Structures are given as C-alpha cells and as structure tokens.
Amino acid sequence: MKNLLLSDFNTYLDTVPFSDIKPEHFKPAVEKYITRTQQEIDAIVQNPEVPDFQNTIEALEFSGMHLSRIQSILMNINSAETNDVWQQTTEEILPVLNDFYNNIRQNKALFDKVAYVQKHVNPDTLTTEQSMLLDKTYKSFVRNGANLSDQQQQKLREIDQQLTRLKLQFNKNVLHETNSFELLITDEKHLNGLPQSVIDAASDLAKQRQKTGWLFTLHAPSYIPFMKYQKNRDLRRQMVLAYGSRSFKNDAFDNQKIVLQIAGLRKQRANLLGYKTYADYVLEERMAETPQNVLDFLDSLHQAAYPKAKTELQKLEALARQDGIDKLEKWDVPYYMNILKKQELQLDEQKLKAYFPLNKVLQGVFEIAGRLYGLKFVKSDRIDTYHPDVQVFEVFDETGKFMAVFYADFFPRAGKRQGAWMTSYKDQWQRNGKDSRPHISIVTNFTKPTATEPALLSFNEVTTLFHEFGHALHGMLAQSHYPSLSGTNVYWDFVELPSQIMENWAYEKEALDLFARHYQTGEKLPEEDLKNIKKSLQFMEGYATNRQLSFGYLDMGWHYRFDPDNDTDVSQIEQKHMAKTQVLPYYEQNNMSVAFSHIFPGGYAAGYYSYKWAEVLDADAFAYFKEKGIFNPEVAQKFKALLQAGGSEHPMTLYKKFRGREPRVEALIKRAGLKV
C-alpha cells in the first residue's frame, strides 16, 4: 500500500485519509520530514541577512509543519484507537521526535539569531500577536536549555527521553488495568436497583465477550451508573477498590515507581534550568505565576468548601444509617448521593436521561453555537474516519465561509483511553493570503445505544459534551496568524474558560428548550425538572469542590513539595498532601496518583488547580451573559473575539476586553452556594 504520509494528502478539505494509514507508515514519514525540517532550520541559520522577525521568528514558526501534523495524527490515534502495534510505533517514534526537537531548541546558532531579534527589534514595528510570538519563541529556547552548557544540555535530553518513555508506559499500564477488570453478575437479584438501560448494556457486553450474565467494567458508562444504583454494598465495594487499585498492585502494570521517577525527573529538569521546583518552572508561564499564589487560591476555596462538604456528608450518613450502615465509605457516596438528590431535588437522573438522546444534545450544542457565534454544522460523508463510530461535520460561518472540520467520537472501546478530551488534526494559521482552517476533534466515553434504546446521556454526560464542545469552539473559531498562538494554545489556566463557560448553557431553560426532548414522546423537559436541574448547581457542591481541591493539592504535592530523597512511598505522599481535604477514610489498597493521567502523562502537571481557577473566570463571565441575556449578540460577539484571539494576547488582557474588568471570585462562591 502506498504511504500517503510521504506527501500532501489529496483528500477533501485536506483531511486525514485514516483508512489508508498504517502504523508502519509513520517511521519513513517522520524520517523524511525531520530531514525537511532540518533543511528549513539550516536555511534560517545560514541566512546572511541581519536577523529580523520575518526571516527568523516567523520562518521558525512555519518550519516543520508536515512533521507536526504527522505527530498529531500518531498521538491522537494512540489515544483514541490504539492497540499493541500502535503503542509500539508511538514508543519508537516519540523519542526520535523529542531528540530532534531538542536539537532545534538547543541549536546555539539558531538561538543566537532569536536572541538578536529579541534584543534589537523595535517593538513599535510588531503587532501584538507578533510580540507574543517573539516572547514565546525566545522563552521556549531558554526554558528548554538554550543557555545551558553542552554537558547540561545532554543531561536535559536524557531527562526528556526518560520522561517520554515513562509517560507512555504510565498510560499503557492504566489502559491495561482499566480494560482487564470485569465484574460478571450471574444472579439476577444482584441487579436490584439498576436501571433497565444499564442492565441491557451489561447484558450486551457479556454477549459480546461470549459470557453468560451481566458484565460491568471500569469504563465510565458502566462504572458510574453501577456506583449510583447498585444496592448491594459489597458489589459497590468491589468496584471502587478495583477502580482505585488500577496500577497499584506491585505487578507488571504497577505505576508507583513510574510516578516517583516522573516527579523526580521533573524536579531535576527544573533545577537544571534554574528553577527551585517543577511548579516554579511551569507557573512562570501561567496566569497564577507562582506556586504560593496557587496554594493561596486553593486555600481560599478550601475555607468555603470544606465545612459545607462535612455538612453534606452528614446528610448521606443519616441516609446510610437507615440501611444499617454505621460508617460511610467512599463506595457508599455515589449511591446515597443519588438518593438524596431524588429527595431534595425530586430529580431522578435515570428518568432524566430519556430527555437527552445524544443526537438531540449534539444538535442542541450546534444550535447554541449558531445563535451565539453564527456557526452552522453540516454532517459529511465525504471525510474518512479512524473508526465507524466517529461522526464528521463541516463547519461554516454565517456568510457560508468554511471554518473547520469537526470530528465527534463518543463511545468507549478497548483502544480508547478513559475520560473526555478535545484535540486537533490540523492547525489554523494565516499566511500570504491563505487561511488554513483547523480540523478539530472531541473524544468521550458516553453510554452506548442498546438494542432497545438510543444513546441516552446522563446530565453529567450532557455537561461533559458541552465542556468539550467549548474547547472545540476555541479551536474552530480561531483567527490567529501563527499556529502556536491559535485556538487552545493559551496559558494553561486560561484554556478551561471556553469549555467551562459552555457548560452554563446546559442549565438554562432558554437553551434546554432547544434540544431537551423525550426520545419516545418528543415532549419537552418538564418545568419542574428544569428548576431542579438549576438547583443541582449547588447540590453537594461543597463535597464536589473539596474533591477537586484535593486533586489540586495532590498535584502541588508532587510538583512543588516533592523531595526525591525522602519522599519514596507513594501512599504516604498522597495521604500527606490530601489530608486537609480528607472527609472519608483512606484505603491502603487504593491510590489516586498511580492513575492520575491528567498530571503524570497529561499536560496538567502543576496545573490541576486551573479547573477551579477557570471556574472563577467562567462564573464571572457567564454572570455577564445572564445580566444581558444568554444569547445577547453584543456579549456573544465580545466573547467570540476572545475565542478568535487564542493566545495572541495575554489572557488577562483578553478577559478585560470582554468583561471590562478583572474577574471576581464572588460569582463562583454565589453560584456554588458556598460561604466564606
């Protein structure tokens, strides 16, 4: 088969020809485009003209475009549709790419040219976006060792190679552990309490795996409803302990040593570059700026959330005592929380699902994006995908101009990692009159359709779809000139604003009326349910906030407080840093860190706080929409401008342009029903 990665794609809208791409195609393609990129770098270095923004910074920005795209395709497939061969291919290629990129970042002659431009360029001759690119380019060299000695640079390379290998192994281990656990129920009485749709899905899965009974797994669409509805406490306990012990069994798939090594290597890397800790290194390029600012921020929310979390758990304990349970455990919380929710809000989540068929919710977010930003989504059958489940849409603006390709991949499978995320297969940029439009993807693990029902979403899945779609809008609406400043290429503690603000529309009657319809009768969501969904914003919010803060503290424990010489027990480290948020007993056989994909292989190291940070931004920003109207065209246009700008300006500048002032934490405190 011809290797299509070796040339430009001759496809509709330059989309990826997934069906014709094989794992063995990547190595020769990477080798070819490394050579081409090196030629582009050599041309910049050997240019006899005086270094300036165009011949150095801009030329560097647009070098390696093919190589970058090949890498994004490989990494995305390895996350969404992997197997042993894809994993092996990724493991072989990533170190080669990292080594090559280190060669560029540690190229002294190239850095000298970049530094010359940084020092001598007249700022008045640059646009705001060009100034951002210059600053980002210069810092990327410094932060990746350009000022180090040859010996230090070699050490940095070794660290980066080790980190790449360890992060890939971490993901492989967690995926294996998630896929390998099965709870097979053969006695029908143990289905007591489970909704019929959950039972049907478990039956379908058992049949697929040639087993008799009902099969439950650690994948979210199976695990979450099981924990909410399963009356049998011992079975709930089995599931929780299985989930919490993934990669924590002292076997071939254990991540304890890997976690310690990653944290240690990150600290070494930071020290080598002149930073005290990895958190100091990371936060230099964040809105929060310093580790102490992050801890102060977490503490300010902790004071509001912790007392409420304790009060909320007392309500669950009272319910559990009615069932003869003296001590509330973590496998009891989702079950009794669901009961309490029904009592306090009269909100039956299972009945609620009937009003959220996936196809209607998807059309709903499309309609909302149309009303806010003038976008139109047209399903396409002309674009190839990597799996039959993936849907593809062409996106247009109000004038009919093509804006983006949008891939949507909703259902779990063995080759897909857990969670939900947005990514891209092609960057947006503008150059020489050409506007390269992005190819954006969202990937989730939603409940699949069964033989008797379409895919019906829990309300949590609805907000997840809105969340990831908010990220997608950030990419689709991008109007930057430079790929590294386009769309979601912003400060990490700003990147969640577009996603989290989008969730707010899922709670508003005016938006829900557009799509929340019973899948059988077509009736609108009842008014009472609408009110209760709104109330649910504050339901158990103290507990939920405290839980998020615990992850933020744990993240800072690993990346700010970590001492490689003395911190050698993963359980002890975890208990120490999560102690102030602990409201339930700790279980020695469970561990969060070893499966904490966000901060170890993922990009949230020293940045998990950004979810709550962005909640402050989104609550304050949505308060502006509420004040003027959730579809107010003037406010929507201002927010659209923020989305279009990507990383071309400092995020606080963009926010103040939108809001007219800096964000205020009071909006979040009010929305969550917390008190300081």
Catalytic residues: 468
CA neighbor of 417 nearest in space, from 249, 602, 214, 241: 602
For 239, phi then psi, to 5°, come to -65, -45
Which DSSP state fits 255?
-
How many other C-beta atoms are found inside a 10 Å radius of the C-beta of residue 554? 22
Token representation of residue 579 = 């102690």
Cα separation, 447 vs 411, in Å, equals 7
CA neighbor of 335 nearest in space, from 446, 193, 447: 193
Cα separation, 323 vs 334, in Å, equals 15
How many other C-beta atoms are found inside a 10 Å radius of the C-beta of residue 575? 15
Contacts of 17-24 spanning 24+ positions with Cβ under 8 A: 17/384, 18/77, 18/384, 18/385, 18/386, 19/384, 20/384, 21/73, 23/85, 23/86, 23/88, 23/89, 24/89
Three-state SS annotation for 344-386: HHCCCHHHHHCCCEHHHHHHHHHHHHHHHHCCEEEECCCCCCC
Cα separation, 610 vs 549, in Å, equals 10
Q: How many residues does the chain have?
A: 676
Cα separation, 5 vs 200, in Å, equals 42
How many other C-beta atoms are found inside a 10 Å radius of the C-beta of residue 110? 21
Handedness of CA 439, 441, 487, 262 (dihedral sign): negative
Buried residues in 236-248 as b, exposed as e (16+ CB within 10 A): bebbbebbbbbbb
Cα separation, 74 vs 18, in Å, equals 11
Look at strands 421-426 and 402-409 and give their pairing. unpaired
Helix axis angle for 333-345 and 291-322, nearest 10°, is 80
How many other C-beta atoms are found inside a 10 Å radius of the C-beta of residue 434? 8
| Apex 671 CA angle, 666 and 676, nearest 5 | 50
Q: Where are the alpha helices (DSSP H) in 230-290?
A: 233-244, 256-272, 278-283
Buried residues in 266-290 as b, exposed as e (16+ CB within 10 A): bbbbbebbebebbbbbbbeebbbee
